[in-house]
Amino acid sequence: MPSPIAPEEDLSSYTSIFNPETLTRKGLCPVTKIRHQDSLQSHSLYFEQHGNGPEKILFIMGTGGMAEDAIVLLDYLGWKGDREVHVVGVSLGGMIAQELATRIPERIASLTLTVTTAGGSSFNNLPPWKGFSSLARLMVVTEPHAKMAIIYDMMYPSSWLAEKALNDPEGRTNAELLKEDYLRRFELTPPQTLGGAVSQMAAGLTHSVSKARLVRIASTIPKVLIVTGDVDHLVAPTNSKYLSQCMPQAEYVIFENTGHGLCIQRKERYNALLEKVFAEGREKSTANSS
């Protein structure tokens, strides 16, 4: 398929959360450094999810529509082979990942569902009160330090925030390190629009994957991991427990004293877990095809 953008075209003219020179997020999130990546064996794909950037939202798209977006992109890249893709979905991304796994299970070698839910009715999809009230405040608060305080309280256990950060030569707390990172992101990343935030919230509230679909996902994908923290104010840990009950073949991991920001709070352990899952997915895919 021909590229819709000419090679000589100035990509900076496109409004995006990505830096056109580095093709990584302007907020410099951890995806800018990927360990142990062999150019001949693996490639990573990051794209701007509907409602995430500063673009104007013209319509509300559910998690199924977002999954269709991802499939269009995978097709464009030619990633159509059997068991070629490792899918990692976090929170709303985990909801989209379930829809993706329903549609193209044959392409997926491993599926990781992190701090997410199968959904159901809109009422059941509401986050716990602390998360709900925090999200409502974030939609109207614009001052960076005020936003940080809300995000900290929503995403991480207070006891962990007060702890000394591991391997920090200056002896700073986790909260102090996060503050430095978040302020840098606020400075470099264009803010999400109100319409974008509402669009993504609507997608989460209307998300629903039945038990029958979950059973089918678990039976058709070689390796499935379900992982959650035990102090999650946005997606209650009981949702991950339900996923594991519907998919007993899946590996189920609970991180103690860990919030919704699991990927940042426990990044070393989480990354090691992903590498293990990718390897197991490849091994099982090879065994099943032989």
User: Helices 194-206 and 63-77 sit at what angle, rounded to 10 degrees?
Assistant: 100
Give the C-alpha separation, 155 to 176, whole Å. 15
The answer to whether 18 and 191 are in contact (CB under 8 A) is: no
Measure the CA angle with vertex 198, ends 197 and 202; round to 5°: 120
pTM of the full predicted structure?
0.83
Cα–Cα distance, 262 to 242 (Å, whole number): 19
Q: Specify the number of domains making up the chain.
A: 1
Question: Is 278 contained in some domain?
Answer: yes
User: H helices within the chain, ranges in order?
Assistant: 63-77, 92-103, 129-138, 144-155, 158-162, 174-188, 194-206, 211-220, 237-246, 262-265, 267-289
Q: What is the DSSP string of 120-139?
A: -STTTTSPPHHHHHHHHHHT
User: Is 94 inside a domain boundary?
Assistant: yes
In a domain, 171, yes or no: no
Query: What's the rounded Cα separation, in Å, for the pair 157 and 210?
Result: 31
- Tokens representing residue 20 in the block: 């056109």
The domain in which residue 95 lies consists of 62-127+208-290
User: Is there a domain that residue 88 lies in?
Assistant: yes
Which H helix or E strand runs over 227? Answer: strand 223-229
Does 45 reside within a domain? no
- Give the CATH number of the domain where residue 279 resides: 3.40.50.1820
List C-alpha distances in Å: 147 to 141, 199, 260.
Answer: 6, 20, 16
pLDDT of 47 > 80? The answer is no
Answer whether residue 286 is part of any domain. Answer: yes
Confidence of residue 5 (pLDDT cuts 50, 70, 90): very low
Q: Is residue 151 part of a domain?
A: no
**For residue 13, what pLDDT is reported?**
53
DSSP type of residue 173:
B
What is the per-residue pLDDT for 198?
A: 75
Taking only the tens place, the pLDDT of each residue in 95-141 is 999 999 999 999 999 999 999 999 988 777 889 999 999 988 988 88
Q: Which residue has the higher pLDDT, 241 or 7?
A: 241
Residue 135 forms part of a structural domain: no
Residue 90: Cβ-neighbour burial (10 angstroms; 0-12, 13-18, 19+):
buried
- Per DSSP, the residues of 65-101 read HHHHHHHHHHHHHT--STT-EEEEEETHHHHHHHHHH
